[in-house]
Every structure is written in C-alpha cells, then in structure tokens.
Amino acid sequence: MDTILIIEDNEDILELEELHLSKAGFDVLGFLNTKGVLQALEEEDVALMIVDRNLPGVEGSEFVREIRSLGYDMPVIFVTAKDSDENVQEGFLRGGDDYLKKPFNMNELVLRAKAHISRYKGTNRKIRYKGLMLNIEAMSAKLDDEPLKLTSLEFKLIEYLIKNRNRVVPREELIKEVWREEVGSKTVNMAISRLKNKLESSENYIEAIRGVGYKIC
C-alpha cells in the first residue's frame, strides 16, 4: 500500500482528502502544519506529498524546497488557493510536480495522485534515511554525500531494513527475502557486521536485537 503525506491546515479539507485517498487504497498521513513532517519522512516510505501553500509557520512551497535540498524526490502536488500565474510558476520552481487550484474535484486529486505515483515508481527511485541515500535503480549509495561502496548483498540488506524500519526484522526473514537461499545465522551476522562497519559515521544505523534479528535505529 503506497503512502501519501498531506499537509493541509483546513481540517475539513484534510479530512475529505484523507477519506477519498483512503478509499482509493492509499495509506494516508495527515498534518495541519509542517511540524513533525520531516520525522515522518524519515520513518515512512512516502510515495507522494500533497501540500497546501498557505500554511501556518513555513509557507508550503518553501518547505518543499527545503525537503528537495535534503534529497527527498517523491512527487509533490500543490493544492492551494494561490492561483495566479506567478504563484503557479513559483510552485514548480520550488520543487512541485503538479498544481491544483482550490476549489478542486476530489476525484481529480485521486487520479492525479495515482498517475504521479505510477510514474514515480517506474523511475530511478531513491530512498533517504539520515545521512544515507540509496538509488534503487542504479544500486548505488551515498553516505553523508560521499559515495559508499556496497556489495549487492549489502545494498539489498540495508534497503530491506530501511523499508521495514518500524519493526524488528527477524534473521529468518532476512534469509528468505534477501539471501533467498538457505544460509546460517552466522552468515547473516557476519554480513550485518561488515555492513555496520561501512556505515560507521556520526550516526548509528543498525541495532542487533538479541535472539530476534535487526532493526534500523
């Protein structure tokens, strides 16, 4: 189930967007302002953002420009009453992929969301977590903006752990989903140890849960 993150300060509109997108089969995260959004982006694999521009605190397009500078590349649809030609141009220049002017049709929003997510999933997707950036298509990685050399197995390991970052992943599951062949726990432990050594920086990335498996930290 793809996750859509919405930032909309009008509670009624936010509830309607959440209702229609949920009915369309999406997992929806709703925010009335930008507080807590960066943390959510770190913790969730967000496929699309829907952002109002008239937000309390940080203006919506300024916030999108900020997350673009941090490496987040998921599509963004601005849904806003800022409807002049200058506003539209500004929205695209600051990182928007689409612009829907209020008032708008909820069914049209759902269709646009589906189209953008479909195209996004077919491109060179990137996953960002803390200082680590993974390019899925190219199977390349950067750590703190520096190239990070990972083996194919190490890349798949960290990708799987990040995608399942809200839980502990048992060793048996890693063997099934990453190795896809019978290997022993010692093999898993050694591979994780080598990966942890490569990821050593100012951040901790992998935590061992004794007797169970591993989790992203």
What is the DSSP code (8-state) at residue 176?
A: I
| Token pair belonging to 145 | 């903006």
Nearest to 102 by CA among 43, 163, 60: 60
What is the DSSP code (8-state) at residue 104?
A: -
User: By the 8 A CB rule, do 78 and 61 touch?
Assistant: yes
Asked whether the predicted pLDDT for residue 123 surpasses 80, the reply is no
- The band of 202, judged by pLDDT with boundaries at 50, 70 and 90, is low
User: By the 8 A CB rule, do 88 and 99 touch?
Assistant: yes
Average pLDDT of the segment spanning 33-38: 94
Q: Which residue type does 176 have?
A: K
Average pLDDT of the segment spanning 135-139: 83
| Token pair belonging to 162 | 């990040």
Asked whether the predicted pLDDT for residue 203 surpasses 90, the reply is no
pLDDT digits (tens, 9 = 90+) for 73-101: 899 999 999 989 999 999 999 999 999 99
Average pLDDT of the segment spanning 26-55: 93
Strand 213-216 to 206-209 pairing: antiparallel
Query: What is the percent of the chain where pLDDT is above 70?
Result: 98
Strand 126-129 to 132-135 pairing: antiparallel
Instruction: Verify cis geometry, omega within 30 degrees of 0, for the bond prior to 147.
Output: no
DSSP reduced 3-state for 183: coil
Asked whether the predicted pLDDT for residue 188 surpasses 80, the reply is yes
Could you give all domains of the chain from N- to C-terminal order, each with its CATH number?
3-121 (3.40.50.2300), 126-216 (1.10.10.10)
pLDDT the model gives residue 20: 97
CB atoms near residue 113 (< 10 Å): 23
pLDDT the model gives residue 122: 64
Task: Scan for tokens 């063997």, then name that residue.
Answer: 175
Q: How would you list the strands of the sheet with 146-148, edge to edge?
A: 126-129, 132-135, 140-143, 146-148
Between 107 and 139, whose confidence is greater? 107
- The band of 61, judged by pLDDT with boundaries at 50, 70 and 90, is very high
Report the alpha-carbon distance of residue 104 to residue 106 in Å, rounded. Answer: 6
Q: Which residue type does 166 have?
A: N
Q: How would you list the strands of the sheet with 206-209, edge to edge?
A: 169-170, 213-216, 206-209
Task: Scan for tokens 């929003």, then name that residue.
Answer: 109
